[in-house]
């Protein structure tokens, strides 16, 4: 007899492309049937068959407080009772903007949108409008949403313009995008030496999370800042995933680097659809209605979503919150490393704040090429073994994981024990 998950997936594929509304949910990378979730509470989720899992996806990062946090739910209910949307200014939008400006020194002005893709797309348009230049620089393996100019893979060599990595994206849309290797300081310096005066902006996941977790090498972010400053280019930190996830000051606070523009999402919505971009006032003043760079959105600053985000930001601002979250995530990573070592499995793990990565290679990767050199098939087997043990990881070897404040030490210990069991099975 097929499970309810199987039945729902079969039905979904008849009316939704691939049966899912976002590709990675389809389990195509790992194989098998995706889980259809019916409930989340704290650190756990329940699927359509009633099986519970310890959840380390957390809606891909936003649920830093865990599922259905009582205070966040109450804030949403209170806001919804007053109206779902107005298409007009609300005081809550002002409070959110003031909160973000107060929390991140690099942001002097901010605009709210409804998704991370909107935030990055708008920030890049703003950078181009501010500089009067067209060329965009990004890094292979970094994902900044599905806007046409960002769906680009590397060309045949250094300083080669990228080619579209998705059907339906005209070559013209990617013709102004240059793709470099993440963490390669020499490439950055060479590029700016040759084309610095043509570059409108550099956008980077300051800590990468969309090719699994990758930390910046010493000097990499500094090289970006120095070159952008020297050549008048706009440095954009994409902190949609890392913003208020790795620390209260985000990546820019951890590494003491000040970007010109920052994009945010995920945590600032507390599980609801919210994005934002902000930065230097002289750049943000170029936005319509003040300036010539146009951006708009019917649901931007939605009061229900903003209420969820504000309550989340309030709770994570409590003294000691990130120290505890970072320690708990490190406890998980240390346990996984020890379990892999004891089983003789070529795997390791690493973390930053409340984010972690599991890699089937000897050491944590520092580039896209090293990520691709990992043993993907071993991860796929590990993923399904962990699923049987009641642990839900991201269904891809190229995605970071997330720990929430709702995960207890007992949850972490149970996860490590499950990992040890799975590593032993892999070793057999």
pLDDT in tens, 56-106: 999 999 999 999 999 999 999 999 999 999 999 999 999 999 999 999 999
pLDDT of residue 23: 87
Identify the CATH number of the domain in which residue 138 sits: 3.40.640.10
For residues 271-292, average pLDDT? 97
pTM score > 0.85 for this model? yes
| Structural domain boundaries, residue 96 | 71-316
Domain finish residue from 256, 287, 316: 316
325 CB-near residues (< 8 Å, 6+ apart)? 64, 353, 354, 403, 404, 405
For residues 192 and 15, what is the distance between their CA atoms, to the nearest angstrom?
Answer: 48
pLDDT digits (tens, 9 = 90+) for 221-252: 999 999 999 999 999 999 999 999 999 999 99
Q: Are residues 35 and 78 in the same domain?
A: no
Q: Are residues 282 and 217 in the same domain?
A: yes
Q: Are residues 198 and 225 in the same domain?
A: yes
Q: Are residues 218 and 111 in the same domain?
A: yes
pLDDT of residue 79: 98
Q: Are residues 14 and 161 in the same domain?
A: no
User: Which candidate in 47, 55, 69, 143 is catalytic?
Assistant: 143
Q: Are residues 216 and 312 in the same domain?
A: yes
Domain finish residue from 299, 316, 333: 316
User: Which candidate in 69, 181, 184, 238 is catalytic?
Assistant: 238
Q: Are residues 299 and 327 in the same domain?
A: no
For residues 158 and 147, what is the distance between their CA atoms, to the nearest angstrom?
Answer: 23
The answer to whether 142 and 205 are in contact (CB under 8 A) is: yes
pLDDT digits (tens, 9 = 90+) for 172-191: 777 789 999 999 999 999 99
Residue 160 scores a pLDDT above 50: no
Q: Are residues 295 and 356 in the same domain?
A: no
For residues 162 and 152, what is the distance between their CA atoms, to the nearest angstrom?
Answer: 6
Query: Any idea of the CA torsion for 53, 56, 323, 276, to the nearest 10 degrees?
Result: -130
For residues 67 and 58, what is the distance between their CA atoms, to the nearest angstrom?
Answer: 7
Q: Is 6 a catalytic residue?
A: no
Q: Are residues 283 and 238 in the same domain?
A: yes
Measured in degrees and rounded to the nearest 5, phi and psi for residue 287 equal: -75, 140
Q: Are residues 383 and 409 in the same domain?
A: yes
For residues 239-268, average pLDDT? 98
Of the candidates 363, 297, 280, 329, the one whose C-alpha atom is nearest the C-alpha of residue 108 is: 280
Identify the CATH number of the domain in which residue 42 sits: 3.90.1150.10
pLDDT digits (tens, 9 = 90+) for 330-374: 999 999 999 999 999 999 999 999 999 999 999 999 999 999 999
Q: Are residues 42 and 57 in the same domain?
A: yes
Domain count, the chain: 2
Q: Are residues 143 and 215 in the same domain?
A: yes
For residues 311-339, average pLDDT? 98
For residues 276-285, average pLDDT? 98
First to last CA, the chain: 30
Domain finish residue from 259, 289, 316: 316
User: Which candidate in 99, 138, 266, 311 is catalytic?
Assistant: 266
For residues 271 and 36, what is the distance between their CA atoms, to the nearest angstrom?
Answer: 17
Q: Is 143 a catalytic residue?
A: yes
């Amino acid at each position: 007899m097929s499970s309810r998950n199987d039945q729902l997936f079969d039905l979904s594929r008849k009316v939704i492309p691939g049966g899912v509304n976002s590709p990675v949910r389809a389990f195509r990378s790992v194989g098998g049937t995706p889980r259809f979730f019916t409930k989340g509470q704290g650190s756990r989720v329940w699927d359509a068959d009633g099986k519970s899992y310890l959840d380390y996806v957390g809606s891909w990062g936003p649920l830093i407080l865990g599922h259905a946090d009582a205070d966040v739910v109450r804030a949403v209910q209170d806001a919804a009772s007053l109206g779902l949307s107005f298409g007009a200014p609300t005081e809550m939008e002002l409070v959110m903007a003031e909160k973000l400006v107060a929390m991140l020194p690099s942001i002097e002005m901010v605009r709210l949108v409804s998704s991370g893709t909107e935030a990055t797309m708008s920030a890049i348009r703003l950078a181009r409008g501010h500089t009067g230049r067209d060329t965009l620089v990004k890094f292979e393996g970094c994902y900044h949403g599905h806007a046409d100019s960002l769906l680009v893979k590397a060309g045949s060599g250094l300083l080669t313009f990228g080619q579209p990595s998705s059907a339906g994206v005209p070559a013209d849309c990617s013709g102004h995008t240059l793709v470099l290797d993440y963490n390669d300081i020499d490439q950055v310096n060479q590029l700016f030496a040759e084309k610095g005066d043509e570059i409108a902006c550099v956008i980077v996941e300051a800590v990468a999370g969309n090719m699994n977790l990758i930390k910046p090498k010493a000097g990499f972010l500094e090289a970006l800042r120095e070159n952008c400053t020297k050549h008048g280019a706009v440095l954009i930190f994409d902190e949609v995933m890392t913003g208020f996830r790795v620390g209260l000051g985000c990546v820019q606070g951890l590494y003491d680097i000040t970007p010109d523009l920052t994009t945010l999402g995920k945590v600032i919505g507390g599980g609801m659809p919210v994005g934002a971009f902000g930065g230097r006032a002289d750049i943000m003043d170029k936005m319509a209605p003040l300036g010539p760079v146009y951006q708009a959105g019917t649901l931007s600053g939605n009061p229900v979503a903003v209420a969820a985000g504000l309550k989340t930001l309030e709770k994570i601002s409590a003294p000691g919150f990130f120290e505890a979250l970072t320690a708990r995530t490190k406890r998980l990573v240390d346990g996984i490393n020890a379990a892999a070592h004891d089983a003789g499995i070529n795997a390791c793990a690493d973390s930053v704040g409340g984010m972690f990565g599991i890699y089937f290679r000897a050491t944590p990767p520092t580039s896209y090429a090293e990520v691709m050199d990992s043993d993907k098939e071993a991860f796929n087997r590990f993923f399904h073994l962990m699923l049987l043990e009641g642990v839900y990881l991201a269904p891809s070897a190229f995605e970071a994981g997330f720990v929430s404040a709702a995960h207890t030490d007992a949850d972490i210990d149970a996860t490590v024990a499950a990992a040890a069991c799975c590593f032993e099975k892999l070793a057999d």
